[in-house]
Amino acid sequence: MKRPALTLALAIAAYAAAMLLANFAVAAFGPGVTGINAFLWIGLDLALRDWLHVRLRPWQMAALIVTTGVLTWVLNPAAGGIALASAIAFSLSSLADWAVFSRLRGSWLWRANGSNVAGAAVDSLVFPTLAFGSLMPGIVAMQFIAKVAGGAMWAWLLRRVLPVGAQAPSPR
């Protein structure tokens, strides 16, 4: 496997692993873990999503989101509600993230952090509301702050270790 293909495969695996770890942590420990989860795993997810957005076709990104949601449920059926809430929240936040990322101009880091605010806002509102059955403003606010901060940290780290200048493939 050539280096760019290996890098892409590793990024996809890390993206899926971050989503799975986030879902399993919430299923195992409940809403109390969401702040740490949001900073570490969802922050990584947001930053990797932007990196992957410029390398994958939209249908490939959608398939990746759905596949990891299904995989979460298959590996831990008890997390079914968490996996479903996660798949819906990730899908909606991915759309918000992409809408902002594709319209922003400037460096990849600027675009990634700007779009992460939109993705974090949608994900922070939708996920806990669906996963736990009620709107929890404190959890939503804590998750939003943690996701934006974690996304910024991961975006900065990714920019330093991965090439960020690739062009998006043509849609098919």
Task: Please report whether residue 169 resides in a domain.
Answer: no
Provide, rounded to the nearest whole percent, the portion of the chain with pLDDT above 70. 90
Q: 167 lies in a domain? A: no
Radius of gyration of the chain (CA): 15
Q: Would 19 be classed as within a structural domain?
A: yes
In a domain, 25, yes or no: yes
CA distances 79 to 30, 36, 125, 137, Å, are: 11, 19, 19, 23
Q: What is the pLDDT of residue 1?
A: 58
- Total domains in the chain come to 1
pLDDT at 166: 46
Look at residue 170 and tell me whether its pLDDT is greater than 60. no
Selected residue with higher pLDDT from 27 and 171:
27
- Does a structural domain hold residue 168? no
Domain that holds residue 130: 3-161
Give the mean model confidence (pLDDT) for residues 3-31. 85
The answer to whether residue 83 is domain-embedded is yes
The pLDDT tens digits of the residues spanning 34-75 come to: 788 889 998 998 899 888 888 888 888 888 877 877 777 777
Q: How far is CA 28 from CA 31, 65, 128, 129, in A?
A: 10, 21, 15, 17
Global model pTM greater than 0.95: no
Q: Is residue 172 part of a domain?
A: no
Tokens of 163: 């090439």
